[in-house]
Amino acid sequence: MKKDFDLLSLGEILLRLSPPNNERIVRGETFQKQVGGAELNVVSGVSLLGLRTGIISKLPDNALGTYAKNRVRFCGVSDDYLVYDEDPDARLGIYYYENGAYPRKPSVVYDRRHASFCKITVEDLPEDMFASTRCFHTSGITLALSENTRENAVEMIKKFKENGAIISFDVNFRGNLWTGEEAKECIEKILPYVDIFFCSEETAKLTFLKEGDLHSVMKSFTQEYPISIVASTQRVVHSPKVHTFGSVIYNAKEDKFYEEEPYHNIEVVDRIGSGDAYISGALYGLLAHDFDCQRALEYGNATSAVKNTIPGDLPSCGLNEIDRIIKNHKNTGIQSEMDR
């Protein structure tokens, strides 16, 4: 059935403009043109792995909106719940991204204020959407963007929950959008609805004022709220071009932590979206494999690690490729050097 999704997500779609290779924003004559956005990155990753997903968003009713819609479709994500802003001031939010190389850090300039997405409301969407998906995901960015997105996102979370959807939430704290205090206050209001919770150790401590080791921090969320699963990524940034990536997942019902050897010395091509790709993999593992946290861990780590090697925000690996990467990651024997 057309309205049957494994995953729907609410989030802003941004135009991403980046100078090629190691060129700078302040110079040069071309920008690479892509789309991105935390929630779109998540659903496009899940879609590539084989589940049916859609993005809930609002786009300007102009050529840029059409461009964004086309890219969404390219990824195999449904555009059924894209709505369009016909106001004369309709606009697509933008961010400019510049690659880093030690000692130059990657850098981002945002130009996302007044974007059409900030006007999205529950009323823009059809009522039956809320009953059309197994899982709903959104992130702290959507909450932080504007008063309006915050209110409507909260209302959507409630409506999806009422209609039986699993609620997935990624804190994704951004200090340039709101303060830690604002974030804490707002997110604590929605945690009672959340089933799957993504939060880094650093955010847990700085924003939610948790103390103690990572395991006890993760567990504490499930003790205070009816959260089933908490996942926390662990990235070590050796340099802008070399990262190590792993994660920990806690399953409250089993009271069990899942961990594996991280991916060491990833050859980073484009780091943006690798956190979102982790969520893709983890949600895929949970939704496709009956909440098997071992699968969530393996798919999450592999999907994130390999995203770092792909230009742009959006992942681009299908299930076969991820399975092969997981197998290689576990393999300690001789490996082929190339996929032929």
> Which 276-315 positions form the footprint of its own copies (CB under 8 A)?
302, 305-306, 308-311
Residues 201-230 contacting its own copies, CB under 8 A: 202
Q: What is the nearest approach in angstroms of its own copies to the Cβ of residue 115?
A: 10
CA 177 from centre of chain: 17
Handedness of CA 323, 328, 330, 333 (dihedral sign): positive
Q: What is the nearest approach in angstroms of its own copies to the Cβ of residue 107?
A: 4
Q: What is the nearest approach in angstroms of its own copies to the Cβ of residue 10?
A: 22
**Could you give the dihedral angle defined by the CA atoms of residues 71, 303, 198 and 204, in that order, rounded to the nearest 10 degrees?**
-120
Q: Which stretch binds its own copies (CB under 8 A): 5-13, 100-108, 247-255, 277-285?
A: 100-108
The position carrying tokens 């990235």 is 235
Size of the site for its own copies (CB under 8 A): 83
Binding flag, residue 101, its own copies (CB under 8 A): yes
Q: Which stretch binds its own copies (CB under 8 A): 5-13, 107-115, 148-156, 186-194?
A: 107-115
Round the CA-based radius of gyration of the chain to a whole number and report it: 19
**Which residue of 16, 58, 150, 271 would you call a contact of its own copies, by CB under 8 A?**
271
**Which residue of 147, 211, 261, 267 would you call a contact of its own copies, by CB under 8 A?**
267
Q: Which stretch binds its own copies (CB under 8 A): 92-100, 193-201, 212-220, 226-234?
A: 92-100
CB nearer its own copies, residue 11 or residue 60: 60
DSSP assignments along 146-168, one per residue: -HHHHHHHHHHHHHHHHTT-EEE
**Which residue of 84, 94, 122, 163 would you call a contact of its own copies, by CB under 8 A?**
94
- What's the CA gap between 221 and 249, in Å, rounded? 12
Binding flag, residue 106, its own copies (CB under 8 A): yes
Residues 121-150 contacting its own copies, CB under 8 A: none
Site string for its own copies, 36-75 (x = CB under 8 A): --------------------------xxx-xx--xx-xxx
DSSP assignments along 123-136, one per residue: GGS-GGGGGSEEEE
Q: For residue 318, what are the contacts with CB-CB under 8 A and spacing of at least 6? A: 48, 49, 50
- What's the CA gap between 244 and 153, in Å, rounded? 33
CB nearer its own copies, residue 159 or residue 329: 329
Cis peptide before 103 (omega within 30 of 0): yes
- Half-sphere exposure of 260 toward its Cβ, with a 13 Å CA cutoff? 14
Q: Is 338 exposed, middle or buried (CB count within 10 Å of its CB: 0-12, 13-18, 19+)? A: exposed
Binding flag, residue 327, its own copies (CB under 8 A): no
**Which residue of 240, 260, 319, 323 would you call a contact of its own copies, by CB under 8 A?**
240
Side chain identity at residue 102, one-letter code: Y
Q: Which stretch binds its own copies (CB under 8 A): 104-112, 129-137, 188-196, 226-234?
A: 104-112
Site string for its own copies, 16-35 (x = CB under 8 A): -x---xxxxxxxxxxxxxx-
Which has the closest alpha carbon to 170: 41, 82, 80, 299?
Answer: 41
